[in-house]
């Protein structure tokens, strides 16, 4: 049964239920009709026999039967017997079993179902202790024959109706399950062809199957997006790691092949060291983001003075900004406390400051402000550099994204990592930027409870 399709199973149970219902209806019809015919026959027969005694009397030592007593009236044969069972008056239908014993006040049925005869006997004292028995006999009426024909017709049409019910049930079930088949076919095509762009695409509908199909399409959208992100992430990571590896290899080969002084080798080693440090930072970011995606990155929160952290990051940023003659200014409100992880918050703020310096204008300014507002700590990092075009404002949070590869440096993981850290602290990061004028990154973190 488990290997049978759902359509056939539903059709089977539908047909089975219809058989039960038809059988119950037929049984009820036959039972009720038989009972009705029986009661009507009994009433008609008993009334005819009972009325016959009105025309029978015993007087002057003899039995007197009125001439008004009709031995056949309205389908009922009447016969009068004495106490010894001798026929005194009346007539019985042709073929009637005259040996049938008299049985007072009992309705008997004799003969075949198609030629049934109903017999009713009643014994009474008609005067002076003289006992007579009146027998009434009826043959099956036309209504009974019609009923019998209807029953036969029902028994013949019953299988036909069941077949029709099964066919109609299968057709209805197949129509109802067409969307399910479409879902299964789409899933099979996606699985066999590895094509996540395919969709079920059912028309609008409010039933459960249409809702399932819509949810299935939404799930495929998310799977496709995740799959594309994974491919892009792998490709970008490979690209980012290939360049520094090529630098390390080429510098190492140059140092090994060079016959020059130790100074040349030292210069190569310094280049290798700087490149290795860059790779280490990249791998560290990748590892942190990978752990974050899997939910394995732990945030060790404690009560922190964010004002001190921002001040320390600002000083460090000032040293980095000196190479581009960028002035770092700060406006930091004191005693702004949050619950957070010191290492993560420093990395987030330093990433944002490095981003502002990297894309800032030479001889420009980087402004860092911190204040408490509406139960939150709000930190703005503003630069007056190249800015970000509107079409790239949402893309900058994607991993390895860089708007202009020719003008950009870094690995493109700083902003995604910064946003993750902010989200892990129940906060967020937003940006407002004008191309050619600069950008303002705003970090919002909930204040620590007093």
Q: List all residues 6 or more positions away from 362 whose beta carbon is below 8 Å from its beta carbon.
A: 324, 325, 326
Report pLDDT digits (tens) over 167-201: 887 787 777 777 777 777 777 777 665 666 777 66
Q: Fold for domain 182-297?
A: Helix Hairpins (1.10.287)
Q: Cα(374)–Cα(371) distance, rounded to whole angstroms?
A: 10
| Edge-to-edge strand list for the sheet holding 327-332 | 327-332, 365-373, 376-383, 438-446, 428-434
Q: Cα(37)–Cα(43) distance, rounded to whole angstroms?
A: 10
Strands 87-90 and 76-81: antiparallel
Report pLDDT digits (tens) over 206-215: 667 777 777 7
In this structure, the number of other CB atoms found within 10 A of the CB of residue 159 comes to 11
pLDDT score recorded for residue 408: 46
Closest CA to 381 of 372, 370, 368: 368
Closest CA to 401 of 197, 235, 225: 235
- pTM, to two decimals: 0.47
Q: Cα(52)–Cα(43) distance, rounded to whole angstroms?
A: 14
pLDDT in tens, the chain (450 residues): 456 666 777 777 878 888 888 888 878 877 777 777 777 778 888 888 888 888 888 877 788 877 777 888 778 898 988 888 888 888 888 878 888 888 888 888 887 665 778 888 998 888 878 888 999 998 876 456 656 666 777 778 878 888 888 888 778 777 777 777 777 777 777 766 566 677 766 666 666 777 777 777 787 777 777 777 666 666 556 655 666 677 777 777 776 666 556 666 677 777 777 767 666 666 666 666 666 666 656 778 899 999 999 999 999 888 888 888 899 999 999 999 999 888 889 888 988 998 889 888 888 999 999 999 999 999 999 998 888 888 877 777 766 665 554 344 455 677 888 888 888 888 999 999 888 889 999 999 999 886
Q: How many Cα atoms sit within 13 Å of 295 on the Cβ side?
A: 0
- Please state which CATH class domain 302-446 belongs to: alpha beta
Q: Which two tokens stand for residue 195?
A: 């094509």
CA distances from 67 to 53, 73, 85, 134, 183 (A): 13, 14, 22, 16, 88
Where do the domains of the chain lie? Answer: 6-164, 182-297, 302-446
Domain 6-164 is found in CATH 3.30.450:
yes
**Is 418 exposed, middle or buried (CB count within 10 Å of its CB: 0-12, 13-18, 19+)?**
buried
Q: Cα(191)–Cα(178) distance, rounded to whole angstroms?
A: 20
């Amino acid at each position: 049964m488990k290997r049978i399709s759902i359509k056939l199973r539903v059709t089977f149970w539908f047909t089975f239920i219809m058989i039960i219902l038809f059988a119950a209806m037929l049984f009820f019809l036959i039972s009720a009709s038989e009972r009705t015919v029986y009661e009507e026959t009994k009433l008609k027969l008993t009334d005819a026999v009972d009325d016959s005694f009105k025309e029978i009397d015993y007087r002057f030592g003899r039995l007197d039967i009125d001439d008004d007593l009709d031995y056949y009236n309205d389908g009922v044969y009447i016969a009068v017997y004495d106490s010894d069972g001798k026929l005194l008056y009346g007539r019985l239908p042709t073929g009637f079993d005259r040996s049938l014993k008299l049985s007072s006040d009992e309705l008997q049925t004799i003969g075949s179902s198609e030629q049934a005869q109903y017999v009713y006997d009643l014994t009474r004292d008609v005067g002076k202790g003289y006992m007579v028995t009146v027998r009434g006999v009826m043959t099956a009426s036309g209504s009974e024959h019609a009923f019998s024909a209807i029953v036969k017709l029902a028994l013949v049409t019953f299988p036909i109706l069941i077949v029709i019910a099964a066919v109609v049930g299968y057709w209805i079930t197949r129509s109802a399950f067409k969307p399910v088949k479409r879902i299964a076919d789409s899933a099979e095509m996606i699985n066999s062809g590895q094509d996540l762009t395919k969709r079920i695409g059912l028309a609008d509908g409010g039933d459960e199957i249409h809702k399932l199909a819509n949810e299935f399409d939404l799930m495929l959208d998310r799977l496709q997006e995740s799959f594309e992100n994974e491919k892009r992430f792998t490709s970008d990571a490979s690209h980012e790691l290939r360049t520094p590896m090529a630098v390390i290899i080429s510098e190492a080969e140059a140092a090994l092949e060079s016959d020059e002084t130790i100074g040349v080798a030292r210069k190569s080693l310094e280049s290798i060291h700087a490149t290795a440090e860059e790779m280490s930072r990249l791998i560290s970011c990748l590892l942190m983001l990978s752990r974050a995606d899997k939910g394995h990155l732990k945030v060790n929160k404690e009560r922190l003075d964010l004002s001190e952290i921002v001040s320390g990051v600002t000083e460090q940023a000032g040293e980095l900004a000196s190479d581009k003659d960028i002035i770092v200014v700060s406006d930091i409100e004191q005693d702004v406390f949050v619950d957070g992880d010191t290492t993560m918050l420093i990395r987030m703020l330093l990433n944002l400051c490095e981003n502002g310096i990297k894309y800032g204008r030479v001889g420009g300014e980087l402004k860092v402000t911190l204040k408490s507002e509406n139960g939150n700590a709000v930190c703005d990092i503003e630069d007056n550099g190249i800015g970000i075009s509107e079409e790239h404002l949402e893309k900058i949070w994607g991993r390895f994204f860089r708007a202009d590869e020719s003008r950009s440096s870094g690995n493109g993981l700083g902003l995604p990592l910064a946003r993750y850290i902010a989200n892990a602290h129940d906060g967020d990061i937003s940006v407002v930027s004008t191309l050619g004028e600069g950008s303002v990154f705003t970090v919002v973190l909930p204040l620590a409870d007093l």
